[in-house]
Structure 1
Amino acid sequence: MSQSESGNLAILLPKTANKSSGFTHTLRFRLMLSVALVHVVLMGIFVAVAVREQSDKIQAELYSRGRSLVALTAVASTNALLTEDLGALAEIIHRVKSQPEVVYCEIIDSRGRVLGTTYPERLGKVLPLLAAQSEHFPLPPGDHVLDLQERIRIADQTIGIVTIGLSTVRMDSALAKTWRDGLFFILTALIVGSGAAWVLSLVTTRGLRNMMEAASKISQGNLDVRVPANSQDEVGMLATAFNHMVASLKQASEDAAQEHERRNQAERLACVGEMSAMIAHEIRNPLSAIINSVNLLGGDTLNQEDRSQVISILNNESGRLSRILGDFLEFAKMRESQLTRANLKVLIEEIANMLYQDHQAGKRLRLAIHCAPDAQMAVFDHDQMRQVLWNLMLNALQSMPEGGELSVMTRRAGEKIMVHIADTGCGIAPDFQKEIIKPFVSSRKGGTGLGLAIVQRILVQHGTQLSIKSTQHVGTEVSFQLNGIH
């Protein structure tokens, strides 16, 4: 398969993901995240429900025990309250205070006088209740005492009030421990779920990973790659379809390559025929002149002056024939460019000086060379660029037989160096500008028509091409670009 075919494949096939892209952008990560989040959400809901149920249960038990205790205290203190037996009331208060979670206990009579309390400084005084009213869960923030009240009644008459405070610290600690255990279980579920998701993602995306690697190889031109299709799920079906697609693509590529080769062969044959006809046409005139000159020299009818003219014709036509064949060989056997860093300004000045000294127009020519300071160093093949500049500048001089101005300018355009060669010659006809770079097309009598064709081939190897702007009777400007050096 040719390089052009493999290049087309690289364009047609989708590119695989860049290895440097983040793991968070992959299907494997999204699958892992989904499974892990499901584990965390489910475990979080379970823990929240469990803690809620335990909290309700503990609160109900504490409230029930407190109600029982305050009711028993009210019954036990009825007689002592009627007789204002402070000793009996103190004994009752002491027994209640010894119960678990009891913070305080207080008994007051109907007049609001404290007759029994866990706070000695309140005893015998008329003071407000420690709790204004009974409390229920949930308690206000920062409050860790559940206050319960019970009226002491005789025949529907209230003779006193019992108030008991129960501490919720142990209950709060138990609930906090339950929450910590729940968070531990959530973290454990996250770790276990992530591990399970990782294994699941490996199994699920293995086939997709194989297809990504295969697509990368296909984009490089390898159409013999295949993807294992061992599973019977959707990924396995996709792998089978992928293999069929690659097989069809390989067959189509081979057919296209064969068709491309047949077309190239036909084009080469057509090109050979066309160029052979052009070469035959170009060499017919000088060859006829050479044959006639040889025949004349072989006779005895020529005097010395005529013989000298015939010999001059023979030399001129032989030289012309040699130039035609030399240009053709140069065009047909163009070597690969050897790109190096070089000074473009030095090369331009050298060629301009040679042309100015040798050209017949001589002093009637005006040369103007301007190379910007940042547009002098470039990357090019020195010998090939010499030939390009020589041909272009020579063509410009030959278009000004009576003299004129030749200007050569270089300037920087981003990363590129632009080269402009302009003259004030006769110009090129508009309908002839697109044809002039074709082989064996020349507007100058005696020209081979290969000069600009050779220039164009050299510039293509440098990654650029020739641009021509011309106005008849005003002048012509040709330009091209090279890679610059900072």
Structure 2
Amino acid sequence: MNPRLITGLTIPLAVVSVLLLIIAIGSALYVRSLQQSISHLMSHHVASVRAAQELEISIREVRSQFDRYLITADKKHLEPVPRLKERIEAALLEAESAATTNAEYAFMRRARDGCDAFFRGYESIIANQPPGGLYPNIIDLIETVRLGEVLEPAHEYLRWNEGMLSRTSEENRELVERLTLGMLGLGICGAIGGMLAGWLISAGVRRSMQRTEERLRDTAAQLDQAIAQPHPPTDSTLQPDSALEQVTVSVSAVLKRLRQTERDALRAEQLAWVGQMAAGIAHEIRNPLMAIKILVQVAADRRSGQPLRARDLQVLEEEIVRLEQIVNGFLDFARPTRPELREVNLVELVQKSIERLRQRAELHGVEVQIDSPPESRLLVQADPNQLRQVLVNLVYNALDAQPQGGTICLGWDCSSESIELIVADSGPGLPPELGEMIFEPFISTKESGMGLGLSICRRIVESHGGRLTATNRPEGGAEFRICLQRVTHDSRLTSAQR
């Protein structure tokens, strides 16, 4: 999909999503704050009501005990008074701590002053024990400090907090209604905004699709012009009414034309290879045929009366062998044999092959070194004869590159899955302008070379599922790497299962 189209779709959706997310988070935080505030007010007023009720009950209990004493004159009715005083004191403290308004403080101040005056008078009577008895003094105390006057502010405090509870509940109900309307409005606005955003997005998509269709039609016209076919043939199942179908028809025609061009190019390349091979064969066999021709002409000249000498016969044999090698080389290049794969110990194959080449290397003054392999058995699936042919060809090339003597080093680079055999020399190295062309046919750095050896070597290695690469060493000389897949225990199990 077009990145601009993706951006055009993503930005509006992201903006709408972010706005809705911000509104939702803000609404949630606002509702949470209101809920906490209302919960705090409700708990405060409930605590105040509970304290006022406890205070009123305790004062009524004290009044009831004194009324019983005045009726019966029995002092046992005065025994609960100290305990009731403690209850009244605790209720007063709780009510005073829950008070938050001046009215509540005034109510509690009146109630505390009345309670303190009453209990001070009572404790004074109990402590002094007047001669006339407690009864007349308690009657004077009750008439002087009226418990009803103490009970009245407590009752007003209770009614005040009950009214506040009712008011808070009413405010909570109104708040819920406002939030309901707000959420409903938000939902309606969100739906309208979503419809508007969808319309804008669909309009943008429609414009983008129109532009895409126009480009497709232009592309189809250009393809038709490229193949010089203004009215391409249509398939019976395709009616080129849309731009995509027109492009499909035009691309099919272009692909057909490209396949034909590719076949023509391949045929031309094959003819070029045939011509190049013919030129190579003519160049290679010309010198041996010239030598054979001269010797035959000398032998055919009866006037000389001299038969062919042993040296002449040896030259004839050498030239015939050379012609045979040239023909075999071209046959190997043109018709490579299929490798007969089997499990081969690469270490053993390298050691035996190099032992056969050491004498020739000593004649060239070249020292052949084999690095110690990481393991005594490095197994690969290969045709030993073809692999030996690759190794011998690389070593011969290294010998030819060092006519004045030098060093050939064979090293290893192994992993758990592959084995790399490295053949490096200390010669002048590969021409940098050739690069990978060194593996192409008829490319050679030697004056008398046919340029088929490395091409055949790479073909053999690739037929074994490996690869052959060539680079120049930093310290000088060329380096060839034969990389083959390693035979492991897991691969043996897989082969056995197959």
- If the length of structure 2 is used for normalisation, what is the TM-score? 0.49
More strand by share: 1
More helix by share: 2
Q: Of the two, which has the highest radius of gyration?
A: 2
